[in-house]
Amino acid sequence: MNTASLHLYTADTPNGQKIPIALEELGLDYTLTPVDLNKGEQKAPDFLALNPNGKIPVLIDRANGVTLFESAVILTYLADQHAALGGENPAERLQVQQWLSFQIASVGPMLGQLWWFRHASTIANDQALDRYRKESLRLYKVVNSQLADREYIAGQRYTIADIALFTWLRTYEELDLDISLFPAVRAWLQTIEQRPAVKRGLATSRQEH
């Protein structure tokens, strides 16, 4: 694949950070267009032609004539194209996809709702905050248990499942969540955030390059 053909539309959000991190981990060349969510650029006709759901990220691979939205699909595509970060055998690949699905089905929605009710809602809703706080902490507990006997979320190798969960679970301070009871998660977060490609990917998301 001609890596120079990759073009990413993204923003500095947990979902938006995943793809720059993966691209940096894979050592791929790409161009990036930042999408200003506050200005509603994700709802503009040109962007909706790429993703009718009006969400980031979107990856265009011109060499293969592919335009993809949904971060989990993009991560899986990149892992499959480069035979890296997706698991090294069928059993590992299933583990990776299982935890990737866990992120998009549970962690993202619950932590996302907690963020919205804490930071974006104009009406105080203690019941919603309590519900999403408790559910978010339950999910941290699930991840903590999984990491108790392994280095990475899907086994002993770093994969796209780690990338997907990292960008969300690192937001615990912003969400005012106490994760002191989850030492395995804290250690894993510290390990992932020290990776050079992760640092570059986060900086790229913030447009510090």
pLDDT at 2 over 60: no
Residue 4: band (very low, low, confident or very high) from pLDDT cuts 50, 70, 90: low
Is the pLDDT at 153 greater than 80? The verdict is: yes
Give the mean pLDDT of 14-22: 98
Q: Considering the entire predicted model, what is its pTM? A: 0.95
Q: What is the distance between the alpha carbons of residues 97 and 118, in angstroms, rounded to a whole number?
A: 30
Instruction: Report the pLDDT value the prediction gives residue 208, as an integer from 0 to 100.
Output: 45
Kindly tell me if the per-residue pLDDT of 85 is higher than 70.
yes
Q: Would the pLDDT of 10 be above 90? A: yes
User: Taking all residues of the chain, what is their mean pLDDT, rounded to a whole number?
Assistant: 95
Q: Which residues, listed in sequence order, are joined to residue 64 by a DSSP beta bridge?
A: none
Phi–psi pair at 59, nearest 5 degrees? -120, 130
pLDDT tens for residues 30-56?
Answer: 999 999 999 999 999 999 999 999 999
**Gap between the Cα atoms of 23 and 21, Å rounded:** 6
pLDDT tens track for 86-133: 999 999 999 999 999 999 999 999 999 999 999 999 999 999 999 999
Q: Just give the CATH number of 90-195.
A: 1.20.1050.10
CA atoms of 172 and 48, how far apart (whole Å): 31
Domain boundaries, the chain: 3-84+197-205, 90-195
Question: Is residue 164 within 8 Å of 111, Cβ to Cβ?
Answer: no
> pLDDT tens across 167-182, in order?
999 999 999 999 999 9
Q: Which CATH class is domain 3-84+197-205?
A: alpha beta
The DSSP result for 151-167, as a single string, is: SBTTBSS--HHHHHHHH
